[in-house]
Structure 1
Amino acid sequence: MSAANPVPRHRAYRILVGAAFRGQLQYRGNLLLTLAGGVAYQGIGLVFLWTLTTRFGDLGGWSMAEIAFLYGMRVTAHGLLMVPTSQLHYLDQSIRTGEFDRYLVRPAGPLMQLLCRQIHVPTLGDLFTGVVVLAVAAHQVGFRPTPAALLYLCLALVGGAMVEGACQLAFASFSFRMMSNLALRGLLDDIMNTFGGYPLKVFPDTARLGLTYLVPVAFVAYLPAGVLLDRTDGLHVTAWLAYGAPLVGPLLYAAAYLLWRTQLRHYSSSGT
């Protein structure tokens, strides 16, 4: 394509992702091992929750099947995010090594180029684990797959992925000023992974508010799961906010992308 007729962004994204994935397929033994590692990592979290409910009966009035449904939603949303965006974690490295300079002189957007630089295979294991756990748990809790429920579930999973993605993108954008804030994004990851699979009812009021309005963990899976499991009466927010949880993701991601564009102006090459 000529400069006057550039490749459309959606096509450029497919081309770059396809090339990155084909690169990973060159090492199939490593591919299988890393996939197994992703499944094992998320499976350990579920086993820990099962141990807690076996010992204490339930958590905040949620049965093990309901918690597994919540956990499946959380891990599926996380997988939907990480499969296409895991390379955001390499932003600091690309700035320090000067790799990011190349993104600025190519016709494709710098964020797209960063996200397509490679495929992090274990994230496929996250997505696979989440889908399997969610499907099994949905059967156990008697989830009725009506068109409305399935539509809300799909919107909630995508919206939950965008909530977590918005937080990561917003934090990452400050790397253009700080050169490195990977520790801060690691802390965000820890918060999401540690608290995202639990019914927030088990935490004190202050923690619930923080995990809803400061770090919006509740909007990733807890509030949508409450709607799908008909538990809106036991949530710490109004029912309309729980039903509208899938809309929070796109709104936060739009704001995070605007912040990214603003902070990108402050990028200064490392000179390497």
Structure 2
Amino acid sequence: MNSFILYGHFLKVYMKIQLEFRFSFIGDIFVNMFTFITVYLSFWVMFNTFDNLNGWTYWQLIFLFNINLFTYSFSSLFFWAPMKYLEQTIKNGDFDNFLTKPMSPFKLLIFRQFQHTFLGHIIISIFVFFLCLNHLHINWNINSVFFLLYSLAGGVLIQSSIIILAGSSAFWIFKSSSFVDLFTSSVRNFANYPISIFGKTVQLILTFLIPYALVNYYPVTYLIGNNNNSYSYPIISFLTFPVGVILFLLSLWGFKRGLVRYEGAGT
């Protein structure tokens, strides 16, 4: 509880600083919203050419994309900037200061940075989510609502874990920021589409090795009943949260292993 209170103080200071430049703050959010509006429009253009994508309709694909976007954006509010720039923090010697503070270096690293630009992603994804509800024939009840929230929580944990693990590579390699970009952009973009359109090798990787498919594909196929993939056994759709918890604990362990290895800016 004390950690949450302390983070609230850090966040309050961050927001005060950002709101000193309100036009820039609001502009950052709206630019990111506009960026993804163009993405949604590109899907619309694509579906004006093709009726469906391997059996997926426009609104089903948007729903799939939207869950990937929301969980990634929510995770990135807290973890993207600290992990993306950990490489630079180590190189310029600032990370040494973290070791002298009466707080876990990981907590301090996360607490001192917040990426408000992802608020635009979250706002547009919530708006589009409600649009999807009007076009998808999902039988909403207590069970399905709980399943969606359960899957979203697990998706956030998986996205956060991948960001932390990629960023923690800074303790071993010099270009960890490229590593973060690789996993949070290039690899994650595969999850913007149904994995059933890819070959079996890609499906296996996205299911069992880098489990982005657990973030959105399997939960969405369960909710909308669009199941045309050989790995879509019903139980897989329920693994998002437990896998997320395991991966998150693994990512914290990975960061701690890197911390043990770290000997100072000179190394």
Interval containing the TM-score (normalised by the shorter chain): over 0.9
Instruction: Spell out, residue by residue over 1:188-213, the C-alpha distance to the aligned partner (whole angstroms, 9 max, x if none).
Output: 12234421221111112222112222
Does residue 1:90 correspond to 2:85, yes or no? yes
Letter in structure 2 aligned against 1:13: Y
Choose which of 64, 84, 93 in structure 1 pairs with 2:58.
64
Q: How many residues align?
A: 266
Query: Who is 1:15 aligned against?
Result: 9
Q: Which amino acid aligns with 1:149?
A: S
Task: Give the structure 2 partner of residue 239 of structure 1.
Answer: 234
- Aligned-partner Cα distance in 2 for 1:163–1:196: 13
Cα deviation 1:58-102 (Å, max 9, x = unaligned)? 111010011111111111111211112222211111111111111
Is 1:164 the equivalent of 2:149? no
Equivalence for 1:133: 128
The 1:128–1:24 alpha-carbon spacing in structure 2 relative to 1, beyond 3 Å, is same
Decide which of 153, 158, 180 is 2:175's aligned counterpart.
180
Letter of the structure 1 residue corresponding to residue 26 of structure 2? L
Question: Is the contact between residue 188 and residue 212 of structure 2 (CA under 8 Å) also seen in structure 1?
Answer: no
Three-state SS of the structure 2 residue aligned to 1:27 is helix
Residue 20 of structure 1 deviates from its aligned partner by 1.4
Aligned partner of 1:169: which letter?
Answer: I
- Aligned partners of 1:17 and 1:235: how far apart in 2? 45
CA distance in 1, matches of 2:208, 2:186: 14
Q: 66, 70, 80: which is aligned to 2:74?
A: 80
Report Cα offsets for 1:234-269 as digits up to 9, x if no partner. Answer: 463321112222321111111111111112111122
Query: SS of the residue aligned with 2:137?
Result: coil
Large movers: runs of 4+ above 3 Å: 232-235
Residue 61 of structure 2: SS of its match in structure 1? helix
Unaligned 5+ runs, structure 1: 1-6
CA shift for structure 1 position 180: 3.4
Structure 2 unmatched ranges of 5 or more: none
TM-score by length of 1: 0.91
Separation in 2 of the partners of 1:15 and 1:178?
33
Distance 2:120 2:70 in 1: 10
